[in-house]
Structure 1
Amino acid sequence: MASAGTGTARAAGGGGGVLLTLCAGQFLMTLDSSVMNVSIATVSADVGTTVSGIQTAITLYTLVMAAFMITGGRLGRIFGRKRVFAVGCVIYGCGSLTTALAGNLAVLTVGWSVLEGIGAALIMPAIVALVAANFAPPDRPRAYGLVASAGAIAVATGPLVGGLFTTYLSWRWVFAGEVVVVLVILAFTRRMSESPAGGPAAPGPLGQQGVAGEPAGGSRGWSASLDLTGTGLSALGLGLVVYGVLRAGSWGLVRPKDGGPAWLGLSPACWLIFAGLFTLRVFLWWEERRIARGRPALLDPAMLRNRTLRGGLTSFFFQYLLQAGLFFVVPLFLSVSLGLSAVETGVWLIPLSATLLAAAVGIPRLLPHASPRRIVRLGFLALLGGIVIMIALLDLGAGPEIVTCPLLLAGLGIGALASQLGSVTVSSVADEDSAEVGGVQNTVTNLGASIGTAVAGTVLIASLTTSFLAGVRDNPAAPPDLAAQATVRLTEGAPFLSDQDLEAGLAAAGVPAPTAEVIVDENARARVTALRASLAVLALVALFATVFTRRIPPRQLAGSGRGPSATG
């Protein structure tokens, strides 16, 4: 049962200012990666490093967030969610200021990858708990939908924001602007209702409270409550899994790529993922051992046996996998295949943001008693429909307008998922467990996004290479030795290049004009084939995701605690 303080807060309801503050926090946490992705070349030149150096910083940012999400949720339980949210904002703001002033890669890494990553790990689990503390159960689907849509819109508008600032001002102004936004968020934080710090003692089996061993009073005895061993194990395990997934595109997932590293005949990415999963299993064993001894734990493994929570987390995983994969493939099509600028690419992604927001807001408002299971299932089917339509339209060879209808449909799907899943996961457990759920939820979504990008990229490059080589071999206009030369040069994967960049590279290399024309034509065809293959894999994932929607409850959960069929 929720505490009296929490119940009072919910009875009062969460105002528009509180919701706007939480949405701004979620938007800010998600904006950085998409902004940085379109500004890599400019940033690398400004700080005196290489493109690979900036990509390393991006990878580290993802790793830091994923590694400390569960710990961030636990800190919220110990010190209070509002306080941890505010501290996270301060750390994040310091990181943004450091990044804006960075003169070299080391300072950029400290500011963006480390400080902002730690700040995000504190803020994002707290957001989930603060929605539960500030909104009554009937209002939560809409609130969670808006918060989730704020993050998705940040991904969609990031290229536009990054392109505008990079082209007309400087990428540094994005991070300077984040400092101002953080200050505004902090000013509005005091309006939020807070659930009490400390909560129950150790997180015992679901439905039980007050396990002996956790110091009362929130911050008193915090070092004992934090479970430093569990923190280290979870951070190491999650970090290894995410890093392995991120490197799979370069090293290969199981079979090592030609010329790449190999450990005992397998790709290092495979071993890293295996080691991370093993470490996470040790982490769960450690948490069970602490709870059995009556000591506070970082996470209650019994929570993961909650059927409804597992269903919500699984759907979250697939949502972010599909979302990240789509946001990887579509901008490539617009910017590389069609040669659009970063600003133009961002503009053509706006239809997705519009329908996403409409669905996230409209479904809870117009259909407050709709079945979450049906909405989530329809959301995945809408995503599937948008992807399938895009595959079909790629064959038409038209301009950027062919993405409009698919993105409108995909936006509806993502918005439908956003309107339900946050409420499903938090409503499946007691309110005092909402911060822990937030940590696990954000870990799952980060993992899904990492896998989505890695899978889409790996399939894209592999298909591009295969299709290009087959096209060169079968093209009667190609010189006899071109296929053999291409096979040798593309063993590590064909680069996804625009016609203009490829023509410039071939001219600089002194390739004869007839040969260059064959290469450019085959590369253009191979690009479309690769995009279609990558989208086809995402379509299969969307279809597979509908199978797991049966774990979503058929009706809205009543409120705090577990609803029907929560365990099993």
Structure 2
Amino acid sequence: MTRTDSVHETSRNQASTTGRRRDRLTLAVLLTASFALAVDFSILNVALPVIGADVGFALSGLQWIATSFAVCAAGFTLLFGRIADIVGRRRLFLAGIALLGVSSLAGGLATGPAVLIVARVAQGLATAAVTPAALALLTTSFPEGPRRERALGLNGALMAAGFTTGAILGGVVTDVLSWRWAFFVNVVVAVVVLAVAPFVLAESRPGQRPRLDVPGAVTVTAGLLAVVLGLTSAGEHGWTDVRAWGGLLAGVVLLIGFRAIERRVAAPLVPVRILRERSVAGGNIAGVLAFATETSLVFLLTLYLQEVLGYSPLAAGLSFAVLGLGTVLGGAIGPTVIARLGNPPRALALGMAVQAAATLALVSLGPTSNGMPLLLIATFIGGVANLVAIVGFMVTATSGLPDDEQGLAAGLATMSQQIGITLGIPVMSAIVGATLTSLGTDTTGSILTAVRTAIGVNTALCVITAVAVATFLRTPRIVTTAVPGR
């Protein structure tokens, strides 16, 4: 080897080392943000009664602390996914993180209901902005293939672990410090991310900046807001409540109008041809069900642990630590499963099938704590399987599209995630309520029967998803694009 060749080889090695270091930093920043946002979904649930007493919420209004966040987080994701394509994903990510920090500070300092609700709305909007922007930055920073699959696997693992961690952390923080630290933790995260991200993340936007489809944005956002409000009302007041079916009906009408608009405008928010991609449409439907089944199962098991076994909220939350470990493991092995099967949809189908088997085992839970070993083993296995399915969903739903549509693909995937989280609990709550009504009593035995019934329905949804994915979804075609800064 000549001296010149040696110099060139050294330069290439240094560039490769720098690239790997930048990849790790990029991943660390984006995963930190994703984890913090996932924790936000559940961290306040255990603390709601304490917050209500401190801030002055009536008991009937407590649910709005969670609902105001979920409605905005789910309703605005698709809109912000497209805005990220227009203004730049890095720019929107940083703006969303800044909003998260400010709103979390306001929430932690709130002394009245109005300020707290406004803070939660702002946190929901921050989530709607950051999540699709972070996912788009992730998919455009790593090319399709094993590297992207590993990144999406870690992202999925930390998101799912965040939901579980939030339930545990909420109880611990409330008991040891104060519920206000559930907000202040986000301030610290926001400051750290804002200090590092500008030096690590490369800007990402399409070569040709798309125009914003205002009529489409208005109708789809209003439609999603109406659907989420309808589902939330169904969970709180039952499916016969006018707010439930009225919200759902209004949402369906608006979404039908959105589809009609998208067929006619020159620059649609969601091009109809993208939804014709089987991997995008089918992958997102499966993603909704993957998130809905697992998050609603946590709700059902919380009912079981507290109402049947008499566990405290903190003890019930700690019981899900094993589930959290399972989700981390599932996210870590998800890319390996995809590589072994050679097909993301197959991994999605396999994950849902194993999750169905683990969920079915929980139907045998009884009125005593003798079934706790079964619960812990089944939730661990189900957590692993669910994350394998979620990684398969993320890879499927964001593959086969060029970089200039990754913001939109990320917005769709994020919307599916958040609708699934919002959808599952009201549906399972309605099944529990209907079963209790048919039994005519709400004794411990009746609650156990109702929970078992809902777990059976949850299992059936997992089976249907697995069969549909295995039957109809195929491997997405790979689109080769340049990675920014590489």
TM-score (structure 2 length as normaliser): 0.90
1:94 counterpart (95, 102, 120): 102
> Could you report, residue by residue, the CA deviation over 1:109-167 in whole angstroms, capped at 9, with x for unpaired residues?
1111x211111111011111111121132211111111122111111122210101111
Q: Does 1:362 align with 2:315?
A: no
- Distance change in 2, residues 1:402/1:467 (3 Å): farther
Which residue pairs with 2:8 in the alignment? Answer: none
SS at match of 2:310: coil
**Any conservation in 2 of the 1:67–1:235 contact (CA below 8 Å)?**
yes
Structure 2: gaps spanning 5 or more residues = 1-14, 482-486
Alignment of 1:111-260 (within 5 A): 111-112=119-120, 114-138=121-145, 139-202=147-210, 225-253=211-239, 256=240
**Any conservation in 2 of the 1:21–1:188 contact (CA below 8 Å)?**
yes
> Offset at 1:95?
0.8
**Any conservation in 2 of the 1:338–1:400 contact (CA below 8 Å)?**
no
The amino acid of 1:353's aligned partner reads: G
- Equivalent-residue separation in structure 2 for 1:25 and 1:246 (angstroms): 26
1:274 counterpart (232, 244, 249): 249
> Could you report, residue by residue, the CA deviation over 1:52-79 in whole angstroms, capped at 9, with x for unpaired residues?
2221232121111122111111111111
> Offset at 1:15?
1.9
- Distance change in 2, residues 1:48/1:396 (3 Å): closer
> Offset at 1:381?
1.1
> Offset at 1:555?
4.6
Which residue pairs with 1:330 in the alignment? Answer: 301
> Could you report, residue by residue, the CA deviation over 1:334-364 in whole angstroms, capped at 9, with x for unpaired residues?
2332222333222221111112211211232
- Equivalent-residue separation in structure 1 for 2:368 and 2:66 (angstroms): 35
SS at match of 2:189: helix
**Matched-pair identity in %:** 26
Q: Does 1:529 align with 2:418?
A: no
Which residue pairs with 2:281 in the alignment? Answer: 310
Alignment of 1:505-544 (within 5 A): 523-544=443-464
Which residue pairs with 2:66 in the alignment? Answer: 58
Q: Does 1:391 align with 2:349?
A: no
SS at match of 1:197: coil
SS at match of 1:37: coil
2:384 counterpart (400, 412, 430): 412
SS at match of 1:290: coil
> Offset at 1:547?
2.5
SS at match of 1:540: helix
Which residue pairs with 2:7 in the alignment? Answer: none
- Distance change in 2, residues 1:201/1:87 (3 Å): closer
- Distance change in 2, residues 1:97/1:317 (3 Å): same
- Distance change in 2, residues 1:309/1:164 (3 Å): same
- Equivalent-residue separation in structure 2 for 1:390 and 1:196 (angstroms): 45
- Distance change in 2, residues 1:367/1:546 (3 Å): closer
Q: Does 1:27 align with 2:35?
A: yes
2:344 counterpart (354, 372, 379): 372
**Any conservation in 2 of the 1:160–1:342 contact (CA below 8 Å)?**
no
- Equivalent-residue separation in structure 2 for 1:341 and 1:85 (angstroms): 38
The amino acid of 1:85's aligned partner reads: F
- Equivalent-residue separation in structure 2 for 1:551 and 1:246 (angstroms): 32
2:310 counterpart (339, 352, 359): 339
- Equivalent-residue separation in structure 2 for 1:137 and 1:425 (angstroms): 12
> Offset at 1:47?
0.3
Which residue pairs with 1:71 in the alignment? Answer: 79
Which residue pairs with 1:446 in the alignment? Answer: 418
- Distance change in 2, residues 1:374/1:132 (3 Å): same
TM-score (structure 1 length as normaliser): 0.77
Which residue pairs with 1:429 in the alignment? Answer: 401
Q: For the pair shown, which has the larger CA radius of gyration, 1 or 2?
A: 1
- Distance change in 2, residues 1:553/1:536 (3 Å): closer
SS at match of 1:417: helix
- Equivalent-residue separation in structure 2 for 1:397 and 1:174 (angstroms): 30
> Offset at 1:201?
4.8
SS at match of 2:129: helix
**Any conservation in 2 of the 1:394–1:532 contact (CA below 8 Å)?**
no
- Equivalent-residue separation in structure 2 for 1:250 and 1:396 (angstroms): 28
Deviates more, 1:368-377 or 1:351-360: 368-377
Which residue pairs with 2:469 in the alignment? Answer: 549
**Any conservation in 2 of the 1:89–1:182 contact (CA below 8 Å)?**
yes
- Equivalent-residue separation in structure 2 for 1:245 and 1:429 (angstroms): 31
Which residue pairs with 1:219 in the alignment? Answer: none
Which residue pairs with 1:81 in the alignment? Answer: 89
> Offset at 1:318?
0.7
Structure 1: gaps spanning 5 or more residues = 1-7, 203-224, 262-266, 470-493, 495-522, 562-568
> Offset at 1:195?
5.0
**Any conservation in 1 of the 2:157–2:329 contact (CA below 8 Å)?**
no
In terms of fraction of residues, the more helix-rich structure is: 2
Which residue pairs with 2:478 in the alignment? Answer: 558
> Offset at 1:12?
4.5
Alignment of 1:427-506 (within 5 A): 427-469=399-441, 494=442
**Any conservation in 1 of the 2:89–2:133 contact (CA below 8 Å)?**
yes
**Any conservation in 2 of the 1:71–1:231 contact (CA below 8 Å)?**
yes
**Any conservation in 1 of the 2:235–2:427 contact (CA below 8 Å)?**
yes
> Offset at 1:401?
3.0
- Distance change in 2, residues 1:124/1:388 (3 Å): same
The amino acid of 2:334's aligned partner reads: I
**Any conservation in 2 of the 1:424–1:557 contact (CA below 8 Å)?**
no
Deviates more, 1:531-540 or 1:329-338: 329-338
- Equivalent-residue separation in structure 2 for 1:551 and 1:127 (angstroms): 31
